[in-house]
Structure formats: C-alpha cells, structure tokens
Amino acid sequence: MEGNISPDSVPSGPIDKSRVMTVKPLRCLVPVFPSHEGSSASPQPPQFAFGAPTGPFPPGAAQFFPFVGSSEPQRPTSVPDQRSNPNVNANANVNANASANASANASANAIPSPVPLNSFRTPAPPTNTSGRGRPRGSTKNPEPYDDGYTQNDSYENGFTIDTDDSSDVTRRKRKVRKLVKGPQAVAISNSEVDIDELVNNLLKSFNLVDINTSLQADSDHDLVQRVVMVYNLLRRKIMQLDDAKGVIPGISRRADLRSGTILMNKGARANTRRRVGAVPGVSIGDVFFFRMELCLAGLHAPIMAGIDYLSFKVSGDEEPIAVSIVSSGGYEDDGDDGEVLIYSGQGGVQRNDKLVMDQKLERGNLALERSLHKGNEVRVVRGIKDGTSLTGKIYVYDGVYKLHESWIEKGKSGCNVFKYKLIRIPGQPEGFMLWKLIQQWRDGVTTRVGVILPDLTSGAENLPICLVNDVDGEKGPAYFTYSSSLKHAKPFRSSKSLSCRCANGCQPATNCPCVERNGGYLPYSSGGVLLSHNSVIHECGPSCLCPSTCRNRISQAGLKLRLEVFRTKNKGWGLRSWDPIRAGAFICEYAGEVIENGSDSDDDYILDTTRSFDQLEPVPTNEHVKPPFPLTVSAKNKGNVGRFMNHSCSPNVYWQPILRENEEESYLHIGFYAIRHIPPLQELTYNYGTPRAEKKSGPQRKKCLCGSTKCRGHFY
C-alpha cells in the first residue's frame, strides 16, 4: 500500500505529537448546546468576552457551552479546575465567548478604574495550554443523587451515564424494562413514556416555548421561577422513571444533569446575557439545590467550577474578571461574621495520587486578582450543608461583594494557597446572615424575638412549633384544639385491596401492591420528595406490614420541618418555616373534622376538595386534581398548623389527596407539598380554589391581600 501514498501527503520534518489526538468512543453525558437562533457575531470586538472553557472534562468529552458563543476558537487551559462543585458531575466549565449581548451589557456595567489595594504582584498569564481533566478515581465529595440517593462522581468511577431522551433532535421513547431480581420481582410496566412529549407539554404549560428574546436575555422573577420549576418537575419525573427500572450495574443515572441538558437544548433558560453585578429575577436569599439550577437561572454559569469569569478587552489583549463565585466548603473558606468571606483559590490538588501542589495564578485565580484591581462587583453564592442529606448542599444567593485584599499562605497541605477577602456591599437584604441567625435560635444562643408560646402543639408534633408576634399586641389566635391528623368518623368503602408485606419498606421494580396502585411507580423519592402529581397518592395503609419508615408513608411520619405560626402585618396569622423547603417536599397534613354533606358555611378554615384548583403540571387525563371521594374538612375548632396557611394567587404550596387503604376501607387525607424551593421564613401559602357554581351563592368574596403581581383581587 505504500506505493499508493503520495509523497506530498507525507509531512516533512519532526512530527508535533501534541497535535495528535486519540479518539475513543465513550458513552457519557456530553451536553453540547447549539447557538441561540438569531444570534450573530459582533462586527467589533466586544469589551467583554466569555472566558476560555475549562475542565475538568471526562475523557473524550466535549466542552460545555450553555451561553451563546462567537466563532472565535476556544483556547484550552492548563490546569484542571480543582475548585469545582463537589456535588455535580458535569463534563465542563460553562464558559464561552461573548456575543453582541455581552458587549451591550458591558457598557451598562462599566468597570471602574483600577484601584490599588493590598495585593500580591500579578505575574504575566501562563502560556502553557496543555490541560487535562480531573484524574480518574476521584471520590471528592459525592453528591446526593437528586432527592435522597448518594452518587459518587460517575466519570471518575468508570460508570456510564444513560443519555436517552437528552437529544432535541430525535424523539426517544423510554420503555420501562422488566427486571428480575429474585422470586418477588416482576415486570412493573410495559407502558411507554415519551420524554420529548412530556418535556413539550411542560414547556407549553409554563409558557416556555419561543420565549421573548429580550426577556430571556434580561429575565424577570417570574421567568426565572418558571424555568427552575420546570427543571425540577422534569428532573423528578425522570428520576421516577429511572427508579422504576431498579439498579442497573455500570449505569450512573443523573436526572439533575440530564434534565438540565434537555432544557438547555430546548432553549428553556433565563438570563442568557452574562453580566457583572446582580442578575435580574434572582433575589437575595433565593435557594437552589442543584448547580444546574444556578446555570439555568443565569446566576452562575459553570456547573462545576467555583469561579465564573468573563474576559475584559484591554488594548487588544484579554484579561479575565470574576463575576460570581460559589463557596461550597470544598476549600478552606471562612465565612467570618456573614458579611466577610475569605475565599480560597482554585487548583493545587491531584486526587488520584494524593499529590498536592502550589496553586497557580491563572484562570479563576487570575480573574479574582484582576477584579481586585478593577473593583467590580462579584456575586456570591454560599453552599450550606443540607441537613436532610449526608453530602448534599443548599446554595443560597447572598448578593454582591467586592474584593478588598489578596495574599498567599500555606494551606493545611503545606502548599501555597491564594486567599481573597471579599466584603459584602452594605444596604442589601439579609441573605446568609438570616441562616446564621436561625441557627442561633436553634442552638439557644439567641432568643427568638416576639415568641408567645415556644410550642403551641403542647408536644403533639415531632418538632415544636412556636407562636410569634413581633408586629402588634395580639396574644394569639382564637382557641382551638390541636390535632396532628385528620380524624374520620367513618371510613370510605372501597373494593378489597391487597396489603403489602414489605418488611424492609416498599421498593420500586417489585411486585408490591402499593407500588402497583400508584401505576407501577413509588410516588416518593428515598428522600421523601414527591416525584409526580397524580389524581391521588396511594400510601401504605394500616394493614400493610412495612415499617413506619417506609418511603410510601411520608405523610404519616409527622413534621420534618421546624415551622412557626407568626403574626402577619395585614392577614392575621400565617405559617412559615425555619428550614429551607425543597420543591416537592411534604410540609404538613390538613387536619380537622370531616363535614358531612360538604357543607360550605362561613367557616374560614374550610378545605373543600370539590373546589376547582389550578394544575401544577399537565396530567395525562387533562383534568384537575380530583380525589376519589369528595371531602370537606373544617379546622375551625380542631386542626393543626395547616389551618394557618393563608391564600395567595401565586402560591408556593399546593394540596394533594392521599389515600390510605385498609382491607375494604379507605381513609382520604390532604397533604401539603412545596410547589418550588422555599427559603427560610418565607410565608407558606396556597390557592383556596373556586367553589362549584351551585355553591358560589354561599361563601362571600373576600379581599385578597397576597400582594402578588398576579393577584386577582379576591378569593372565596
């Protein structure tokens, strides 16, 4: 064959081996997003450009660019980003080159002249561009997989991520597989679930199809909330589908990454224009449970790296400036008094052989140093340990800071570490400081102001619920008898159903009759989060042999949140939580007395299941939530904390019927669940619904004081 080779095709001189690539097939999640339609490169070099994409990447994976990029070539970097998110297993740092939008935004966020501050001398940027990702074998800070599962870094452990349904090009149908795992295992379902159709229905339902370009570039709070809500609904549904397959060796399922990839491909995201300073639509104190949520909201672009930066054009040269950081506890950061953050630089650790080296002044470290001199604002996201998970994090947006000082010191490993002192800009609402204050209440270091009763339940609940009034002189609500659960005078009659015999608790992909009654799926994750919204949840009943800790008895386990009843400024008494609440989490039951014949009197504490309520998400039947039996509950004389939940036209809580069956008897209960992530001390509200036409003549309209931009002005 050598005679067929043209002499012109043989390169002369030595071969540059650094330009030789070995291409190997790899089944892994490689999110590659197309450029936004209608985007065009700016005819003039923009003042800001996206920073070069950085790792760590899994072997053979492409870079990840969620933002619109120009046609300029991307430059590789030399050192893997060891200041990466310890919880997310994505395959790249989310950085790209700037578009015309970035240039326009730069003029609105002008960088002040350099201000000389205490700093180490900045050397010239390194020229070495031979980079590699984090070595295989790393087990740094595994993330809780979605809502309860713990999943180590899948790339480093050699797992394969199942990428079905992540493509926007081909509509893929996922068929629930028949799994045989012993004598008790059976095929749970042969039905097909069209993920692409599910996604399209969600996007249509939440008006996320063909989003206005200008609104997507500079989003409002409503769009940010809708994007994050759809992400969580999709993530939980995909998790439920994966859960039903059982454990498949060698497959690492990451519903958090896959859902984000799908929405990115669909263009369902907010704040596509990158910027310096605050992000529109994101409020200080907002909470996120996944790094992908920060990316979709436009708050912090990289889904791994802790430092997000842009490139600043100066005399034709590019210099990076930091725009946001995530302090998640992976490094030796120090929060000080909540207004000052001592932030450690990135890099310097090679986990496979425990080799530790000095950090280098490049990429994110260099960007922070440049921001120190430029004096630009830097967004700060605090990573706080999630008390419901061994390894999970809650990300809290804490506002904007400015860098005041930087230095080098020896870390615990003995190597040089860059340190940056950031001080919070005064005048902003409380963010992280509120979390510190609540922790002081828990620890008894500080007394909660305005407490009337430390526990109005008198020990009836798992956790105390304090009664607080720091508004006026009212000493408490009208007298009522506290009851932690709904008491039925008589059960509903139903066809005889089998009770489960799951001694270790109900599990997916088994022949458990309670799983079958829920359509072949368990309704809750192992972390107790509701995975999908059906017309009714079938929980295990009194005759089931599973323990009280069974994941299909979530509403029966009592309160898991530290709630408080508080005096509002204009709506009487309300309910809120000291704890952050994850979307889909169970909050409490609506307890009270069942009213026969559905009497709808002037009782202000009525919950009538026959009322009309807005859907949270599209359901296959295209019907509103309807329980199997009509139920009207009054909590006027007897009830629990659910009676204090006020109405809102834009609620953060919804109710769900729960059925517990016992032989030929059924007991219907009402559970409250979070619509979206709810920060601490934010009032919990739900929509009271609209009475049926024949009942509208009974209850009188009441003026609505919810204050929502979508307020209808009244409720029943």
> By mean pLDDT, which of 6-20, 224-238, 418-432, 674-688 is the weakest?
6-20
Q: What is the pTM of this model?
A: 0.76
- Cβ atoms < 10 Å from Cβ of 17: 6
Check residue 561 and give its pLDDT.
Answer: 96
pLDDT exceeds cutoff 50 at 85: no
Check residue 662 and give its pLDDT.
Answer: 83
Q: For residues 206 and 401, what is the distance between their CA atoms, to the nearest angstrom?
A: 34
Higher pLDDT pick, 713 / 22:
713
Higher pLDDT pick, 570 / 411:
570
Tokens, residue 319: 């210099």
Q: Are 654 and 613 in contact (CB under 8 A)?
A: yes
Which SS3 state, helix, strand or coil, does residue 588 take? Answer: strand
Check residue 131 and give its pLDDT.
Answer: 33
Nearest to 276 by CA among 74, 114, 47, 85: 47
Nearest to 53 by CA among 33, 73, 75: 75
Residue 95's pLDDT band (boundaries 50, 70, 90)?
very low
Residue 324's pLDDT band (boundaries 50, 70, 90)?
very high
- Is there a cis peptide before residue 56, judged by omega within 30 degrees of 0? yes
Full set of structural domains in the chain with CATH:
194-273 (no CATH), 279-446 (2.30.280.10), 447-715 (2.170.270.10)
Check residue 193 and give its pLDDT.
Answer: 77
Check residue 498 and give its pLDDT.
Answer: 84
Q: Are 38 and 213 in contact (CB under 8 A)?
A: yes
Place of tokens 């990447």: 57
User: How much is the average pLDDT of 406-426?
Assistant: 91
Q: 444-480 pLDDT, tens per residue? A: 999 999 999 999 999 999 999 999 999 999 999 999 9
Question: What secondary structure does DSSP assign to 408-454, as a single string?
Answer: EEE-TTSSEEEEEEEEEPTTPPPSHHHHHHHHHHHHTSSPPTTEEES
> By mean pLDDT, which of 96-100, 190-194, 218-222 is the weakest?
96-100
Q: For residues 36 and 38, what is the distance between their CA atoms, to the nearest angstrom?
A: 6
Nearest to 366 by CA among 423, 301, 420: 420
DSSP state of 709: T
- Tell me phi and psi for residue 564, to 5 degrees: -145, 140
Check residue 617 and give its pLDDT.
Answer: 65
Nearest to 303 by CA among 106, 63, 580: 63
Question: What secondary structure does DSSP assign to 45-96, as a single string?
Answer: --SEEEPPP-----TTPPP---S---SSPPPP-SS---SB-TT---SS----
Q: 567-590 pLDDT, tens per residue? A: 999 999 999 999 999 999 999 999
Check residue 371 and give its pLDDT.
Answer: 95
- Of all residues in the chain, the percent with pLDDT exceeding 90 is 51
pLDDT exceeds cutoff 70 at 374: yes
- Tell me phi and psi for residue 447, to 5 degrees: -85, 135
Task: Report the chain's mean pLDDT, rounded to a whole number.
Answer: 75
Residue 96's pLDDT band (boundaries 50, 70, 90)?
very low
pLDDT exceeds cutoff 90 at 432: yes
Check residue 715 and give its pLDDT.
Answer: 87
Q: How far is CA 418 from CA 122, 304, 364, 366, in A?
A: 12, 19, 11, 10
Place of tokens 């619109």: 68
> Which residues, 6 or more positions from 646, have their beta carbon under 8 angstroms from its beta carbon?
568, 571, 572, 574, 575, 683, 685, 706
Check residue 479 and give its pLDDT.
Answer: 93
The CA-based angle 589-497-615, given to 5 degrees, is: 40
Check residue 227 and give its pLDDT.
Answer: 97
pLDDT exceeds cutoff 70 at 224: yes
User: How much is the average pLDDT of 642-668?
Assistant: 92
User: How much is the average pLDDT of 190-208?
Assistant: 84
Higher pLDDT pick, 662 / 588:
588
The CA-based angle 377-380-385, given to 5 degrees, is: 175
Residue 192's pLDDT band (boundaries 50, 70, 90)?
low
Q: How many CA atoms lie within 13 A of 278 on its CB side?
A: 15
User: How much is the average pLDDT of 260-280?
Assistant: 95
Q: For residues 261 and 671, what is the distance between their CA atoms, to the nearest angstrom?
A: 32
Check residue 383 and give its pLDDT.
Answer: 92
The CA-based angle 255-185-183, given to 5 degrees, is: 150
Higher pLDDT pick, 489 / 32:
489
User: How much is the average pLDDT of 80-95?
Assistant: 40
> By mean pLDDT, which of 58-67, 161-170, 440-449, 502-511 is the weakest?
161-170
